[in-house]
C-alpha cells in the first residue's frame, strides 16, 4: 500500500500514514503465521485496520493531531480500539442491504413470472417487431434451466430426490415455463432410455418453436435418471393444480368399490369394518364438493371417510354387514346444467281483459 502522489513527502500526515502502514504489515505477517481458527478470530480486526489505513490516504489532520498519534508506538491499534467502542449504524446498513437484496430478488422473480412464453420463432419475432419479447422469454427459459439444475443438486442426496424438490422452481418461474424447459430437454434427448416412456410421450404434447441451437441453450444438464424423477414431481404438482373432473371422481369410486369387495373378511384393525384407502392424489386435488360427490357414488348406508390410528392416509369404511355386491350409484344430473341446456320458452301471456263499456 502506498501513499497517494498528492501527499507531501515530509509532513506529519505522511509520517503517520507510513507508520500505520508498517504497523499493519507487521500485523499481517503475524496473522499469516497463525492457525486458521486464530486468523478467523482476527478477520474483522484486520479488515477494519485496512479501512483505517485507507482513510489516512485522504485524511488531512492538523500537525497537532498527527503528532499526537505519532507519539504512540502503535497508532493504528489505538485507533482500532477506539473504533470498537464507538457505536455505529453498521448493523443498520447490513440489515438494509439484506432487505434491499431480498426486494431485488422478489422483483426479479415477479418479472420472470410475468415474462410470457413467446410462442413463435425468431424469424416471426423479427418480422413482427417482437424481438424484445422473444429474447425475454428465452432468457427466462435459460434462468429456469439453471434453477432446475440447482434444485436437483440441492434436493438429491445421492439416493433419493426429496418430494418438494420442484416447488421452489415452480413458484419462481411458473408451471408452464418449467414444463416447457423440461419437455424441451426430453425432446432433445429422446434417444436416452433413462427417461420413462410416459415422460417422453408427455414431452411430445408441449410445442416448442425455437431452433435446435436456441433450444440446446436451455436443455437441462442434470443426470437424466434423476431429472426423470424431477419431471414426475412437476407433473404431479401440475395434476394437483387441476380441478377433478366427473370422470376422475367416477374412477376413484370404482377403485374404492373394488378394494372394498376384495377381502373375504373385514380388514379394519378391529375386524368390524371393510376399508379401502382413498388415493392421496385424489385427496390432494379434491375440494369439499368432490368429497361429497365421491360419497354419493358409493352405495353404502354406513359409509364414512375417516383416518385410522397407526395407519397413514384417509379410508372409506363400511360395516361388515353391508351388502358389498351393490353397484355404484349413478350420478344425479345437475339441475343447473339441465336448465342451461334447456331452451328457454317464453311464458304465455295472460289474456287481456276487455274493458267493459259503460251501460247506456
- Grid coordinates standing for 109? 422473480
**Range in 106-120, 171-185, 212-226, 302-316 the model is least confident about:** 106-120
Q: What is the pLDDT of residue 93?
A: 86
Model pLDDT, residue 330:
87
CA distance 212 to 195: 20
Predicted confidence (pLDDT) at residue 8 exceeds the cutoff of 60: no
**In which band, very low, low, confident or very high, does the pLDDT at 1 lie, cut at 50, 70 and 90?**
very low
Q: What beta strand segments (E) does 61-191 contain?
A: none
SS3 194: coil
Q: Is the pTM of this model over 0.85?
A: no
Res 350: pLDDT = 60
Which of 39-53, 103-117, 242-256, 312-326 is the least confident region? 103-117
Q: Does residue 350 or residue 68 have the better pLDDT?
A: 68
The answer to whether 219 and 195 are in contact (CB under 8 A) is: no
The percent of residues in the chain predicted with pLDDT above 70, rounded, is 89
The fraction of the chain above a pLDDT of 90, given in percent, is: 75
What are the sequence ranges of the domains in the chain? Answer: 12-85, 122-241, 246-335
Mean of the per-residue pLDDT values of the chain:
89
Residues 287-309 as b/e (b if ≥16 CB within 10 A, e otherwise) read eeebbebbebbbbbeebeeeeee
Q: Compare 106 and 214 and report the one with higher pLDDT.
A: 214
Q: In what order do the strands lie in the sheet with 273-277?
A: 273-277, 314-319, 304-307
Contact 56, 2 (CB under 8 A): no
User: Of 344, 342, 337, 247, which Cα lies nearest the Cα of 297?
Assistant: 247
Sign of the alpha-carbon torsion through 85, 88, 90, 96:
positive
C-alpha cell belonging to residue 322:
353391508
The answer to whether 258 touches 292, Cβ cutoff 8 Å, is no
Amino acid at each position: 500500500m502506498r501513499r497517494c502522489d498528492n501527499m507531501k513527502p515530509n509532513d506529519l500526515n505522511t509520517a503517520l500514514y507510513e507508520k500505520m502502514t508498517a504497523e499493519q504489515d507487521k500485523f499481517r505477517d503475524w496473522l499469516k503465521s497463525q492457525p486458521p481458527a486464530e486468523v478467523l478470530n482476527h478477520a474483522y480486526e484486520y479488515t477494519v485496520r485496512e479501512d483505517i489505513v485507507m482513510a489516512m490516504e485522504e485524511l488531512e489532520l492538523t500537525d497537532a493531531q498527527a503528532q499526537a498519534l505519532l507519539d504512540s508506538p502503535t497508532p493504528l491499534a489505538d485507533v482500532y480500539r477506539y473504533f470498537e467502542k464507538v457505536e455505529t449504524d453498521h448493523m443498520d446498513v447490513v440489515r438494509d442491504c439484506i432487505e434491499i437484496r431480498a426486494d431485488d430478488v422478489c422483483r426479479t422473480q415477479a418479472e420472470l413470472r410475468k415474462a410470457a412464453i413467446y410462442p413463435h420463432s425468431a424469424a416471426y419475432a423479427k418480422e413482427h417487431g417482437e424481438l424484445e419479447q422473444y429474447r425475454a422469454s428465452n432468457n427466462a427459459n435459460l434462468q429456469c434451466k439453471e434453477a432446475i439444475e440447482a434444485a436437483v443438486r440441492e434436493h438429491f442426496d445421492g439416493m433419493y430426490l426429496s418430494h418438494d424438490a420442484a416447488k421452489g422452481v415452480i413458484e419462481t418461474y411458473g408451471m408452464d415455463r418449467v414444463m416447457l424447459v423440461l419437455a424441451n430437454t426430453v425432446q432433445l434427448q429422446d434417444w436416452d432410455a433413462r427417461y420413462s416412456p410416459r415422460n417422453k410421450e408427455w414431452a411430445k404434447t408441449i410445442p416448442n418453436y425455437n431452433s435446435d441451437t436456441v433450444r440446446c441453450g436451455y436443455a437441462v444438464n442434470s443426470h437424466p435418471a434423476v431429472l426423470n424423477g424431477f419431471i414426475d414431481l412437476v407433473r404431479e404438482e401440475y395434476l394437483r393444480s387441476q380441478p377433478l373432473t366427473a370422470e376422475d371422481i367416477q374412477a376413484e369410486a370404482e377403485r374404492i368399490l373394488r378394494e372394498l369387495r376384495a377381502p373375504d373378511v373385514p380388514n379394519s384393525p378391529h375386524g368390524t369394518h371393510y376399508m379401502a384407502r382413498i388415493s392421496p392424489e385424489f385427496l390432494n386435488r379434491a375440494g369439499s364438493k368432490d368429497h361429497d360427490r365421491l360419497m354419493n357414488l358409493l352405495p353404502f348406508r354406513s359409509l364414512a371417510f375417516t383416518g385410522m390410528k397407526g395407519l397413514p392416509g384417509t379410508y372409506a369404511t363400511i360395516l361388515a354387514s353391508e351388502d358389498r355386491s351393490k353397484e355404484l350409484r349413478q350420478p344425479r344430473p345437475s339441475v343447473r346444467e339441465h336448465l342451461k341446456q334447456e331452451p328457454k320458452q317464453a311464458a304465455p301471456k295472460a289474456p287481456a281483459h276487455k274493458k267493459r263499456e259503460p251501460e247506456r
